[in-house]
Amino acid sequence: MSHLYFNNAFSRRPLDESLKAMTPFLQTEFESPLTESEGSEKVRQVIRQARTSVAEMIFAKPSEIFFVSSGTEANNWALKGAVRRGKKNHIVISAVEHFSVYQTAEYLHREGTALSIVPVNREGIVDVDAVAEAITTTTVLVTVQCASDEIGVIQNFPAISDLKMRFPDVLFHTDAIQFACYEELDVSRNPFDLVSLSSNAIYGPTGIGALYVREGTRLMPLLHGGMQEEGMRPGLQSTGLIAGFGAAAEVNQKSRKEWKSKVGALQQTLIDDLRLLGLTLTGSISCRLVDNVHIIADVDGEAMLTLLTEQGVRTSSGSTCYQYAQKESHVLKAMGVGAEQARGSLLFTLDKDHTKEDIDTLVGHVDEALGHLRRLKP
Amino acid sequence: MRKQISVHSILDTFGLLCPMPIIKTAARFKEMKRGEVLKVLSDDPGIKEDMPAWCITSGNELLGIDEIDGEFHAYVKKLR
């Protein structure tokens, strides 16, 4: 049975351009970039080019891009690297951050870092004034995502980054992992000090991400013992993955607008069709990623998932971590969604290659599953 | 504090352990002219041993290392 894949917030199929760029470095071009040979020079050139492509995607300098193993590592590094600078010991996060920010902040809090969690409104949007009010003289870092992986809500990140002008001694970080695929982030206009990026989230290979570190920003490395990435992220680089990331970044810059327009139209169709089935969108409609359709159904989300999976639809009930733990999402909780209501969560994330027919087929399966479960309700 | 030293370039190696501050110093020296002074900032005490040793082997001059609030400020003059 062929399947319909709507789990793109979790993993995307890498671009052919990425796979092509990667292949030589997984086969014959395996030399270390730190040695002196023709092969090493070739590896260095590819890493340089990829660094430039990733930098250009967010209007940064290549020297401000550090390759890491994932977006999760980038988020961990931003938070831990800032706190370990010492002297100041307070961080501010939003209540709807990805687990890799949220739990890292909780971990640091358990180790003694003061933590402020800024609430969101029912649409999932962070109040910028509340972020400013949370900042104290001991604050080392503020982190608010550009957009949520779970509910797709885009934050007012330009206003948050502008707080840097008022609080120049505080580091401002943003998780732009989901945002960067269809939207533009310009660090020359939005003065974040730190930005997390992921290759797979822009259709590159998994296992590679990047942290943008603005020139002059002091950040402690997570790892020690090597010269790679200027000593800031030691460990032999995976040239293949970096090449694939760079290729995805190049394609992203050329195709982002076209993808956004196409996926946005499909998203609107899906939202309209689901509304006809009595399902409404979670969070803001106007401030939203074009690929995210998160709904809360009036039936059990896990039961819906089972029925949809039987029909070949790959989707989820929200955050993977919570899905496995069968626990209420901290994001939905922060938006005032009750635990019982949250059990009806379903997340469809669209792909740039989806078609109107794919959406129609999905809606047909949702209609059928929903009807079945509604009939079973007491 | 060596206020009298005229510094031409500053290299911040905060967070990096030796030999990275030395490696970065050598790289920065390639962009500098003979006679110019580089101020190297580091929080690794290893710089107190590594920088004098590197200056001897590379033929450059260490003008001094200050310790300020747990940070080391090394002043190195490019001679070669």
**Partner residues linked to B39 by β-bridges:** B10, B75
Q: How much is the pLDDT for A30?
A: 87
Q: Does A272 touch chain B (CB under 8 A)?
A: no
Boundary of a domain, candidates A251, A272, A291:
A251
* B18 is annotated as an active-site residue: yes
The answer to whether position B3 is within a domain reads no
**What percent of chain A clears pLDDT 90, i.e. is strictly above it?**
90
DSSP-H helix ranges across chain A: 16-27, 38-57, 71-83, 99-110, 128-134, 157-166, 239-276, 301-310, 320-325, 330-334, 339-342, 356-376
Overall number of domains in chain B:
1
Question: Which phi and psi (to 5°) does residue A168 adopt?
Answer: -65, -20
**With contact defined as beta carbons under 8 Å apart, do A171 and A142 qualify?**
yes
| Domain co-membership, A35 together with A62 | yes
Catalytic residue among A146, A181, A287, A321: A321
Reported pTM: 0.94
pLDDT in tens, A54-74: 999 999 999 999 999 999 999
pLDDT in tens, A70-96: 999 999 999 999 999 988 999 999 999
| Domain co-membership, A35 together with A76 | yes
Q: Does A219 touch chain B (CB under 8 A)?
A: yes
Q: Which of B12, B20, B24 sits opposite A218 (nearest CB)?
A: B12
Burial class (CB in 10 A: 0-12, 13-18, 19+), A152: buried
| Domain co-membership, A227 together with A334 | no
Q: How much is the pLDDT for A326?
A: 61
Task: Count Cβ atoms below 10 Å from residue A333 Cβ, excluding itself.
Answer: 15
Q: Does A211 touch chain B (CB under 8 A)?
A: no
Q: Does A108 touch chain B (CB under 8 A)?
A: no
3-state SS, residue A263: helix
Task: Count Cβ atoms below 10 Å from residue B12 Cβ, excluding itself.
Answer: 18
| Domain co-membership, A262 together with A246 | no
CB contact under 8 A, B16 and A232: yes
Measured between beta carbons, the chain A residues lying within 8 angstroms of B20 are 227, 230-231
Q: State the CATH number of the domain containing residue A265.
A: 3.90.1150.10
CB contact under 8 A, B20 and A81: no
Measured between beta carbons, the chain B residues lying within 8 angstroms of A221 are 15-16
How do strand A65-68 and strand A209-213 relate by DSSP bridges?
Answer: antiparallel
Q: How much is the pLDDT for A120?
A: 97
CB pairs under 8 A between A and B: 25
The range of the structural domain enclosing residue A337 comes to: 4-12+256-376
Question: Rounded distance, CA A27 to CA A35, Å?
Answer: 18
Say yes or no to pLDDT of B2 above 80: no
* Mutation site, A224, A228, A229, A233, interface B, largest B CB count within 10 A: A224
3-state DSSP percent of chain A in helix, strand and coil, to 5: 45, 15, 40
Residue A127 gets the label, from left (phi > 0), alpha (psi -120 to 50) or beta, of beta
Measured between beta carbons, the chain B residues lying within 8 angstroms of A223 are none
Boundary of a domain, candidates A251, A267, A286:
A251
Interface pTM (ipTM) of the complex? 0.85
The range of the structural domain enclosing residue B63 comes to: 9-77
